[in-house]
Amino acid sequence: MDALARAIARPERIEGLAERSPLSGLARRSVGFADVLAQSVSAVAPAGAAFTTPLLVSAVAGATNLPALAAALVIALLTASTINEFTRRMAATGSLYTFVARGLGTGPAFVAGVGLLIGYGFIAMFALAGAGYYLALLITRIAPIGLDAVALGTGAMAALGLVCLLVLARGIRLSTRVTLFVEVTSVALIVVLIVAVIASSPEGLVMLVPDSRAFDVEGFAVAATLAITAFVGFESSAALGVEAKRPFASIPRAISWTVLLSGLLYLGSAAAQTIGFEVTGLDAASSTSPANDLAAAFGVPWAGFLLDVSIAASLFACAVASSTALVRVLFSMGREGLLPQVFGTAHSRFRTPFVASAIALPVVTTVPVVLVLVIGDIWAAMTVLIIFAAAGYILAYVLACIAAPVFLHRIGESSAWATAKAAIAASALTGVVAVYLIEETRGDRAIGVWGFIALLAAGIAVYWLRMLRRPWLRHAIGVYDHAVAGDVLGGIPDAEWVDDSGAGGRRGG
Amino acid sequence: MADELAAHGVHARQPKAIHSAFTVLEEVARCGAGVTAREVSANLGMPRATAYRLLNLLVQEEYLVRLGDLSGFALGRKVAELAHLVTPARPPQAVRSIVAGVRTHVRGGVHLAGYSGTTLRILDEDPDYRLADAARLTRDLGVSAIGRLLLADLDRQGVRSGLLSSGLVAETLHRGFAVQTGAFDPARGCLALPIRDLEGRLVAALSLSTTTDRIERPGRLLGVLREGASRLGPLLS
């Protein structure tokens, strides 16, 4: 241990380290693994998706619903593992946008950035609308007041949007704690229900063996595509790169666990629904609230009520988590100068991207409220919003998967397996997004697809114009949390760094 | 400790991996800041995949830090923290000669221990009379005179650990030094004298370990130790 002992006894001075991170101002290294996991899990909102996704998948894939879900899980795992090549090496708040910038450069980063902003923004709108819808449903059930569903729903959405803004501004720990509690409760309820249904008729398990004769390739592809949209959001903890303690350990773990946990939950839920509908003789396709119908058929109607509460709560948690990621991407862009500098301002006491939240949340709340009022139906509005979100997310995933091998090559750490899995994930996801968008253009929600393409083009154009006027941006984008002097043995002494307790700065030497 | 290791999934199979991790750490220290993953793997003749995995693990645990464009590595501050926990810096020459002077006047082991917060560490162990169980002594503060002195002092400041009965605390504070007999060896014991800075904060202890008989009736020994402790005060604070 000679060299190590020498290095410790007389640390070599390392020059060129900044005193503070380019992303300073946030509560650096302040949240633990549970909070990071909560961020990713809530953005996926598995409790909400566990009932809707298997139904949608079954409607398309029929008996091959479980294999389609399993295929989606494998693709999601490969994507997560590829994204983790970045999260193990780089702590950022810009999530995939920053990663793509570091791998492929400015142009692709714009595309990924706009895609990601659309993804986070529209999933937050979707979740807010969904939470408002369920809240309105619960209010009318508990205390029937003579308001119509749309008025009540939009009112609830506006109120929830305000709560969301307060939670976001107040501090990262509050956001993640709220979402963690809500998500754990909802998932626990669903697991109980799954176990209850399967245990009540274990002989139904044979029905889960897929019939190979009924295999339909196109249906399977569309079903797997739908299933993948239920996983989007798993990477959102990457936006907590600055705020997580031990980010290079906790973020990759949170991302992998989220995909695995959600996948298992979906598989379990799909199995329970297949068995449940078969045993009770109910028709899955005509069921508007499968959780409620199943719970009622199995003699536990209160469980259905509880599930509605938990789905509403889970959707609200999803809104909080997606906005959390959204405002951090905006914060990153503000710090770089790609957006006005004011986006990169952090609140001095709460140490949150306060200005970005105050600008983004009103938009995230107003758009779905207006859309619902125009369409006149919350569900219909939600199905349009989710198209924007899913397409934006998957576009960003594809670019991140292409960027990963380039990035690894650039820092001299490429490997055959990393390249292979990135290639598989990128081509599978490209297929997915193509199938998904083409499928949707045929239906009555085609407006969502064209809207997405128009918004994407507009976003890229705005960024491009901004960069033409500020050519130096080419070298400025993709900021991440550099090692500061305080992190490195022999870094410039007297560096300012922030301690773990989050109580404020202290002098380290 | 063994339980803790088991809980973290360290198995009998893994010492080799731990050895490799240290080799990687050592190589980064040898090459200096900015060494790349490829260089580490080439210098050590280690398969690239293994080297990358180990480097990333060490980055996760923050023993290594990626620099600048993320391709270069440097030792993290945690390496130094770890080192200070394991081997405290050797006390200065002036301190060591005073302790050595005390040793020539006393039959028994004379040790110097330092305190920081609620932990103690041995700064200068008597080479002729080794400590019976240094690990237990630093871990279990209630069993040694050095530890009891710290506990009594913490208690005086209102930090109650519950490791020491209130009777013993009062007795230690009243006496002005701490005593222990029979905890490590039935026939032996030790006493520890406080070394304080100008503000009266406890910074270190000079301890004597010898037979129970002599601990109970220290007589002239106490004077020698007191004198040593008072001379050490300004040097250690």
Mutation for testing the B interface, residue in A248, A250, A482 having most B CBs under 10 Å: A248
Count of domains forming chain B: 2
Written as one string, the DSSP assignment of A220-279 is HHHHHHHHHHTTTTGGGGGGGTTTBSSHHHHHHHHHHHHHHHHHHHHHHHHHHHHHHHHH
- Residue B16 sits in a domain whose CATH number is 1.10.10.10
Q: Considering CB atoms only, which of B38, B61, B67 is closest to A483? A: B67
pLDDT of A296 above 80: no
Q: Are residues B19 and B40 in the same domain?
A: yes
**C-alpha distance from residue A264 to each of A73, A84, A109, A447, A489 (Å):** 9, 20, 33, 33, 43
CA distance A95 to A400: 10
Q: Are residues B121 and B177 in the same domain?
A: yes
Indicate the residue type of B200.
G
Q: Considering CB atoms only, which of B61, B66, B76 is closest to A489? A: B76
Q: Does A509 touch chain B (CB under 8 A)?
A: no
Backbone angles phi, psi at A282, to 5 degrees: -75, 160
Calculate how close chain A gets to B215, using CA atoms only, in Å.
Answer: 39
Calculate how close chain A gets to B63, using CA atoms only, in Å.
Answer: 9
Q: Are residues B93 and B80 in the same domain?
A: no
By C-alpha distance, which of A142, A199, A132 is closest to A163?
A132
Q: Are residues B104 and B164 in the same domain?
A: yes
Query: Which of these three, B59, B84, B109, is where a domain ends?
Result: B84
- Residue B152 sits in a domain whose CATH number is 3.30.450.40
Q: Are residues B75 and B99 in the same domain?
A: no
What's the CATH number for A34-471? 1.20.1740.10
pLDDT band at B6 (very low <50, low <70, confident <90, very high): very low
Q: pLDDT tens-digit profile of A209-240?
A: 665 556 677 778 888 888 998 999 999 999 99
> What percent of chain A shows pLDDT beyond 70?
89
- Where do we find the tokens 């026939």? B187
By C-alpha distance, which of A253, A265, A256, A266 is closest to A188?
A265
Residue burial B82-121, b: 16+ Cβ < 10 Å; e: rest = ebeeeeeeebeeebeebbeebbeebebbbbbbbbeeeebb
Residue B91 DSSP label: P
pLDDT band at A504 (very low <50, low <70, confident <90, very high): very low
Residues of B with Cβ-Cβ distance to A15 under 8 angstroms: none
Q: Does A20 touch chain B (CB under 8 A)?
A: no
Domain boundaries along the sequence of chain A: 34-471
pLDDT of B172 above 70: yes
Structural domain boundaries enclosing B105? 88-236
Q: Are residues B79 and B152 in the same domain?
A: no
| Best-predicted range by mean pLDDT (A59-68, A179-188, A253-262) | A253-262
Q: Do residue B22 and residue A6 have CB atoms under 8 angstroms apart?
A: no
The structure's pTM equals 0.76
ipTM over 0.85: no
Both tokens of B115, joined, read 């305190």
Q: Does A410 touch chain B (CB under 8 A)?
A: yes
Mutation for testing the B interface, residue in A407, A413, A494 having most B CBs under 10 Å: A413
| Best-predicted range by mean pLDDT (A286-295, A392-401, B83-92) | A392-401
Query: Which of these three, B84, B113, B140, is where a domain ends?
Result: B84
Q: Are residues B140 and B57 in the same domain?
A: no
Q: Are residues B137 and B155 in the same domain?
A: yes
Q: Does A468 touch chain B (CB under 8 A)?
A: no
What is the overall mean pLDDT for chain B? 82
Q: Does A483 touch chain B (CB under 8 A)?
A: yes
Q: Does A103 touch chain B (CB under 8 A)?
A: no
Residues of B with Cβ-Cβ distance to A1 under 8 angstroms: 22, 26
Q: Considering CB atoms only, which of A8, A412, A482 is closest to B36? A: A412
B49 neighbors A415 (Cβ within 8 angstroms): yes
Q: Are residues B101 and B180 in the same domain?
A: yes
Mutation for testing the A interface, residue in B23, B40, B60, B90 having most A CBs under 10 Å: B60
A492 neighbors A15 (Cβ within 8 angstroms): yes
Query: Dihedral (C-alpha) A239, A245, A248, A254: value to the nearest 10 degrees?
Result: -60
CA distance A492 to A186: 48
